[in-house]
Structure 1
Amino acid sequence: MTTVYASAGGERYHRISSCPALEMGQNIHDYDCDCWGYCTHGRGWQITETTPSRALADGKTPCRVCLPGASALGASEDDHGHRPALGFVDGRALGNICPRCQTTTTHYDEAYQPSRWTRPVRWPCTTALVLDLVPRPNSATRSS
């Protein structure tokens, strides 16, 4: 499990507790006030350990200083079962599939009677993209 650091009053979470941006945010809260020498607002929020998913749930985004390549959605430490796996159907290898995701295929016969079956979804599944388990494709490389 990945540990990150955040304060209750901040908008970001940080990879290290000594991140310069986190320290600056604490200093701004502590020293940039209009109390004119008699501070009544107290000290900054305590820095606590958390996880990226908990920080995201609390409305925090990755710090752009200590986590420059992190997605705004963040990475989840739990893949919820969405991972690449080698898939087989009737003894044939399908390649990488997501063992968690399935799609339903419907086929209609001559009498318009439906028959349905499920099949695995190829990796990466949509959920893996949403959870940032794999890099998202560049919009310029997608076909229109």
Structure 2
Amino acid sequence: MLSDTDCCCGDYCTHQMPRMHALKQMSNTKAAMDGKLPCLVCVPHDLRAMPDTVTFGHQPVDEYQDSPEGKRGATHIVCARCVTWTHWRDIDLSVGFRVPWPCTSAVVLGISPRPASHAT
């Protein structure tokens, strides 16, 4: 059971005192979708349970695969899902650019490690 201070109702609580709420059994994915994430400081990386199969489409792909550039050996690894859009309103043109891998979502989901920062 949760303690009285865990009630999210605040001052307008409609629960009987003491405010005791039953714990809900749910999967880690459902908990994450409901905004219930483990503390990233307190919980070690290997104990942050998020199934490896849940990528939400964030996967590395070679943008140049099956293209003339790719046949010449060029590679450009990007996220399969993330696109950055640039809009030119004066000529009514929108162009999407793939986000380089790893995207921010892949790092947050734990699919890819955080890239090392370039300290100057």
TM-score calculated relative to the size of structure 2:
0.51
> 5+ residue gaps in structure 1?
1-7, 11-44
Amino acid in the other structure paired with 1:88: Y
TM-score calculated relative to the size of structure 1:
0.44
Report what 1:118 is aligned to: 96
Report what 1:79 is aligned to: 55
Q: Give the whole-Å Cα distance in 2 for the aligned partners of 1:75 and 1:51.
A: 9
- Which structure: greater helix fraction? 2
C-alpha change, 1:70 and 1:55, in structure 2 (3 Å) is farther
Structure with the bigger RCO (C-alpha within 8 Å, sep 6+) is: 1
> 5+ residue gaps in structure 2?
4-21
Report what 2:118 is aligned to: 142
Amino acid in the other structure paired with 1:96: I
What number of residue pairs does the alignment pair up?
96
Contact 1:55 1:61 in 2 (8 A): no
Amino acid in the other structure paired with 1:122: P
- Structure 1 residue 122 displacement after superposition: 1.2
- Which structure: greater strand fraction? 1
Q: Give the whole-Å Cα distance in 2 for the aligned partners of 1:101 and 1:125.
A: 7
**Within the alignment, does 1:69 sit opposite 2:45 as a pair?**
yes
**Radius of gyration: which is bigger?**
1
